[in-house]
């Protein structure tokens, strides 16, 4: 049922187009505002305890709802799981990249700047602007797709929602230096550690495996700080074109690089789904 929920949700997004209008997180923002208003002065709030309440109670509520629906019919559980997975996904990356490459080919500077602002990840470095974009796309693929898939598989619908909430919380705290903010960033990094390595392994299997291994060794240091470097290093090394050498302002070459990255991400998703299918047939996945 886990694999079926994932397949149905991905099919809906593909057939109906981007479903971002369904991903309204106003309830979470209101939940956080309510908690901060009532718990902000309490000692437990400024640290892991506050983070546990922030994300733990919604996940517990979702889990309780799942158990209640299971008593009625597993069809309801399937429908809820499919919706939660679809809801937890980020903005459809394929739609963003299609728009970006179209703008690059048309030299549409306004759209190029707009999509780059949406896609680029802060603190992701590169020798050129084009390389920073390519590196950021690998990070976004994990934030908006692979991380959700991984935790949905491991912990069910609660896991997918937990990853999505932790990402939203990390963006909410920004660069704040409070104990609560530190705990949020640590939670997100812990969740990302296994899922980012699983995504990197997928990049390697779907691309140039030998170079990908070298890229992994070059980026991995065994710490939580290596999550994004591993994704970027393995992703770039897995490309058939190797490390991109794209001149600044060369829109045609940038578009070609983005298309290769997009194709690699889509192949990686196919690899993941194939592995999940084998696990389901073998009885290892519900």
Say what the pLDDT of residue 151 is: 96
Q: Mapping DSSP to helix (H, G, I), strand (E, B) and coil, where does residue 97 land? A: helix
Q: pLDDT (tens digit, 9 = 90+) per residue, 252-275?
A: 888 888 999 999 999 999 999 999
Of the pLDDT bands very low, low, confident and very high (cuts 50, 70, 90), residue 247 is low
Mapped to the 3 state alphabet, what secondary structure does the chain carry?
CHHHHHHHHHHHHHHHCCCHHHCCCHHHHHHHHHHHHHHCCCHHHCCHHHHHHHHHHHHHHHHHHHHHHHHHCHHHHHHHHHHHHHHHCCCCHHHHHHHHHHHHHHCCHHHHHHHHHHHCCCCCCCCCHHHHHHHHHHHHHHHHHHHHHHHHHHHCHHHHHHHHHHHHHHHHHCCCCCHHHHHHHHHHHHHHHHHHHHHHHHHHHHCCHHHHHHHHHHHCCCCHHHHHHHHHHHHHHHCCCCCCCCCCCCHHHHHHHHHHHHHHHHHHHHHHHHHHHHHHHCCCCC
Alpha-carbon distance of 167 to 106, in angstroms, equals: 33
Say what the pLDDT of residue 284 is: 67
Tokens of 269: 């998703």
Q: pLDDT (tens digit, 9 = 90+) per residue, 36-66?
A: 888 767 778 888 999 999 999 999 999 999 9
Is pTM beyond 0.85 here? yes
pLDDT of 240 higher than 70? no
Say what the pLDDT of residue 73 is: 83
Domain map (residue ranges) of the chain: 2-281
pLDDT of 85 higher than 80? yes
pLDDT of 219 higher than 60? yes
Token look-up 């939203």 returns 168
Phi and psi at residue 221, to the nearest 5°? -130, 5
- Please give the full DSSP string across 214-278, using - where no structure is assigned: HHHHHH--SSGGGHHHHHHHHHHHHSTT-S----TT-HHHHHHHHHHHHHHHHHHHHHHHHHHHH
pLDDT mean over 179-192: 95
Token look-up 């509520």 returns 61
- For the chain, the average pLDDT equals 88
pLDDT of 243 higher than 60? no
pLDDT of 248 higher than 60? yes
Say what the pLDDT of residue 249 is: 67
Q: pLDDT (tens digit, 9 = 90+) per residue, 104-156?
A: 888 888 898 888 888 888 777 766 777 888 899 999 999 999 999 999 999 99
pLDDT of 250 higher than 60? yes
Tokens of 160: 């997918």
């Amino acid at each position: 049922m886990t694999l079926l929920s994932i397949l149905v949700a991905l099919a809906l997004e593909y057939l109906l187009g981007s479903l971002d209008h369904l991903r309204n997180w106003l309830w979470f923002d209101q939940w956080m505002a309510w908690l901060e208003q009532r718990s902000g002065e309490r000692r437990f709030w400024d640290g892991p305890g506050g983070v546990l309440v922030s994300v733990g109670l919604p996940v517990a509520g979702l889990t309780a709802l799942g158990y209640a629906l299971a008593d009625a019919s597993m069809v309801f559980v399937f429908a809820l799981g499919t919706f939660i997975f679809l809801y937890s996904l980020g903005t459809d990356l394929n739609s963003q990249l299609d728009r970006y490459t179209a703008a690059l080919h048309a030299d549409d500077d306004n759209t190029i700047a707009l999509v780059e602002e949406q896609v680029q990840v802060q603190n992701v470095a590169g020798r050129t602007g084009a390389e920073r974009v390519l590196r950021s796309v690998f990070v976004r693929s994990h934030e908006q797709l692979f991380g959700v898939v991984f935790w949905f598989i491991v912990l069910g619908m609660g896991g997918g929602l937990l990853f999505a909430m932790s990402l939203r919380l990390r963006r909410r705290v920004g660069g704040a230096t409070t104990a609560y903010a530190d705990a949020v960033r640590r939670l997100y990094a812990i969740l990302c550690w296994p899922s980012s390595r699983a995504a990197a392994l997928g990049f390697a299997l779907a691309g140039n495996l030998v170079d990908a291994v070298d890229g992994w060794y070059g980026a991995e240091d065994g710490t939580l700080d290596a999550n994004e470097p591993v994704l970027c290093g393995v992703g770039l090394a897995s490309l058939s074109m190797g490390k991109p050498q794209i001149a600044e302002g060369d829109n045609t070459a940038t578009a070609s690089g983005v298309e290769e990255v997009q194709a690699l991400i889509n192949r990686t998703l196919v690899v993941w789904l194939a592995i999940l299918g084998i696990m389901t047939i073998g009885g290892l996945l519900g």
